[in-house]
């Protein structure tokens, strides 16, 4: 049985997810344009219009299934097109373009975290990051940060702001994983020796399969994303 608090949390997180993903993708295209590649601009992708960015599978279905299954909320939009050959310095500039998306998500999370006066609460059961539940398994109005501290989430505004912080941190960490087609897959080859880099590029064609397997078949393999999210949230709130 899904309780009303849980349903509200899922709805809020999904509502926050789409604009956060759009900001992530627009950042890639905007930075690429600064470095000489107007491909995203020419494709009409440097815009906040969601219609230009929505991927029905990655922006709606996957995050919805993950949210209602009680796992970390992952998602993606249509990748913004970038042509490395048109960048003034392809190797270093491509790395910065790849980092622009996660950096934007972290910036959004930090700004909101700093701007809000969070209603803090102490509870002995708050030993780790996650929603506090009662003995019957019902969600209580407290989001634990660990160390006996949490955020009181009874107010709708607090829930929305917390969703912005959590979703954007999850997106940043998730997209930095070195699994194609995520942003981290653009960074790892920069530090690999030539032989390993060639092998990695061959592996990249299977990246999406590996990613889906981790998301839906071996979900525990990505539990560290949620753990790291909790650690960061606890530091900035």
Catalytic residue numbers, as ranges = 25
Coil, strand or helix at 172: helix
Per the structure block, which two tokens stand in for 220? Answer: 């525990």
Nearest CA-CA partner of 156 in 15, 2, 1, 48: 15
Nearest CA-CA partner of 142 in 122, 127, 157: 122
CA distances from 195 to 61, 186, 198, 202, 204 (A): 38, 16, 5, 11, 14
**How much of the chain is in helix, strand and coil states, percent to nearest 5?**
65, 10, 30
Give the Cα separation of 225 and 230 in Å (integer): 9
Q: What is the CA radius of gyration of the chain?
A: 19
Structural contact between residues 151 and 165, judged by C-beta atoms closer than 8 angstroms: no
């Amino acid at each position: 049985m899904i309780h009303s608090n849980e349903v509200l949390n899922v709805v809020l997180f999904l509502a926050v997810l789409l604009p956060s993903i759009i900001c992530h993708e627009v950042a890639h295209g905007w930075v690429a344009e600064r470095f000489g590649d107007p491909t995203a601009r020419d494709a009409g992708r440097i815009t906040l219009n969601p219609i230009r960015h929505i991927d029905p599978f990655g922006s709606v279905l996957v995050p919805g299934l993950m949210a209602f299954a009680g796992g970390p909320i992952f998602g993606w939009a249509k990748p913004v097109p970038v042509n490395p050959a048109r960048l003034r310095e392809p190797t270093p500039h491509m790395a910065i373009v790849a980092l622009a998306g996660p950096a934007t998500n972290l910036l959004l999370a930090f700004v909101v975290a700093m701007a809000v006066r969070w209603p803090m609460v102490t509870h002995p059961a708050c030993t780790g990051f996650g929603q506090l539940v009662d003995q019957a398994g019902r969600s209580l109005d407290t989001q634990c940060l660990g160390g006996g501290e949490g955020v009181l989430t009874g107010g709708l505004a607090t829930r929305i702001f917390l969703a912005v912080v959590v979703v954007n941190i999850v997106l940043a960490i998730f997209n930095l994983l070195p699994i194609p087609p995520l942003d981290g897959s653009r960074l790892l080859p920069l530090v690999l020796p030539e032989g390993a880099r060639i092998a990695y590029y061959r592996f990249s064609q299977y990246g999406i399969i590996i990613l889906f397997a981790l998301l839906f078949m071996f979900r525990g393999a990505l539990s560290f994303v949620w753990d790291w999210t909790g650690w960061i949230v606890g530091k900035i709130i």
